[in-house]
Amino acid sequence: MNYRFQNIYHRDKEGKISGAMSPVLFAKEMAEKLGFIPHGLVRIWFSDEEIHNWYEGPGKRQGLTGCDTLLICQINKQNQYQLMLMVNEGSEGCPVALHFSDEQMLPTLTGVYNKRQYEKKLTAEEIGEIIKAALEQNAFEFDKLYPQQTETSLT
């Protein structure tokens, strides 16, 4: 499975954290519903465009939807993280998986995700791989977003 990360958040000229409107507003809305503060936001681009999408119209003759797969991160006061993988379907969001920094287990897939009829879905193992890669590759770029905090458990 091939994919790449796109960090959404950046610091603007006034030093405020901002980013592309659609994913930022989606992350904020989902986080508020779950009591979550989004400190980091990464879009995941898959080379296989059928992942987390479906064909519009019958018989796969029309194009795929343009759903975004987003990884939202919250860091708590103990410098531990919570990651939420979500699919922005436009009119609603689908929570895919949750993962906590103190867990060595695979991410937990949600019941909502298990019921979704995407052309292709990810397994818990694949999601675990993606999360590990995002953290190892510094996809959230926390060093640029929060330069005053030099140590983090995310590396």
**Structure confidence at residue 53 as a pLDDT band (50, 70, 90):** very high
Beta bridge partners of 134: none
* Residue 39 confidence (pLDDT) above 50: yes
* Residue 73 confidence (pLDDT) above 70: yes
- As a whole number of Å, the CA-based R_g of the chain is 16
pTM for this structure?
0.87
User: Can you tell me the distance from the alpha carbon of 106 to that of 4, in angstroms, rounded to the nearest whole number?
Assistant: 20
* Residue 133 confidence (pLDDT) above 90: yes
Alpha helices of 43-96 — where are they, by DSSP H?
none
